Amino acid sequence: MKIIGFDGSTIPNSTTAGILARALVAASEQGAETSIVRLKDVITSPFHGAHDPASLTAKAVYDALPITIKKMVPGWVKKISTDYLFPEEVKPLLRAIEEADGLILATPTWWSTPSDYIKILLNYLTICDYRNYCLRGKVAGFIAVCEEDGAQHANAIMQNAVTHMGMITPPFCSFFFNRNLKESEQNWQETDQALVGVNVVRMCKLLRGEVTGANWDWNSAQ
């Protein structure tokens, strides 16, 4: 079982990176093979979508096909390889995501939204819909760090996007950390960091048929 954590922070050794690392340690203790991708080191260009020159060229090729051939093709986008939409540095990342069982997206909060790197990643993942919905059935957890507020909204943006792409979110896996919150009830700001990783693995095991039930409660991660 493979779980990939995506660090959307621009700062090395940030609070976001630290919490993501703790979640992945907890996931590895549950038997998962884990890895971290620092998006700042991978993503160097924005997603251009259908305005990409190669995309427009592919559409032009389709438009030139005889009508008899067009009738055999339900949609030009779904039948033409989508690799051309990915910069070379992003293609290995896509392949790793396709092979993974679960993802954990971690981000600082900027104006109540995820970081630019997380948003660009989500934009690229849109193309997975045209790769036989390759995210369908994978498991996703979320971590957002804020100074005052907005982290829950940042998590909601990430969760809404990947849920539309077919991913599954386990209970208690939309975690936020407020750096200015000195105390939290039953210390959940500390304990729930591990719970994200634990419950992502639990859901993966449930979907793989390795377990028949799961205890999702926060104190079960202790």
Lowest average pLDDT, out of 12-21, 44-53, 183-192, 201-210, goes to 44-53
The pLDDT value recorded for residue 115 is 94
How many CB atoms are closer than 10 A to CB 119? 20
Number of residues that make up the chain: 222
Is the pLDDT confidence value at 60 over 70? no
Q: Provide CB contacts within 8 A for 81, sequence distance 6+.
A: none
| Six-digit token string for 83 | 């690799």
| H or E, element range at 139 | strand 139-146
In percent, the amount of the chain with pLDDT more than 70 equals 76
Mean pLDDT of the chain: 81
Residue 93: what pLDDT?
83
Token pair belonging to 103? 């993802």
The residue extents of the domains of the chain are: 2-45+101-221, 48-86
Per-residue CA distances from 203 to 3, 101, 129, 144, 200 (Å): 12, 10, 22, 20, 5
Decide which of 17 and 191 is more confident: 17
* pLDDT (tens digit per residue) in 120-156: 999 888 877 767 788 999 999 999 998 878 889 999 9
What is the model's pLDDT at position 90?
74
Ramachandran class of 135: left when φ > 0, alpha when ψ lies in -120 to 50, beta otherwise: alpha
Please report which helix (H) or strand (E) contains residue 221, including its range: none
Reported pTM: 0.81
Angle at the Cα of 110 from the Cα atoms of 169 and 43, rounded to 5 degrees: 75
- In CATH, which of 3.40.50.170, 3.40.50.360, 1.10.3720.10, 2.40.160.10 is domain 2-45+101-221? 3.40.50.360
How high is the pLDDT of residue 124?
85
**Residue 76: is its pLDDT beyond 60?**
no
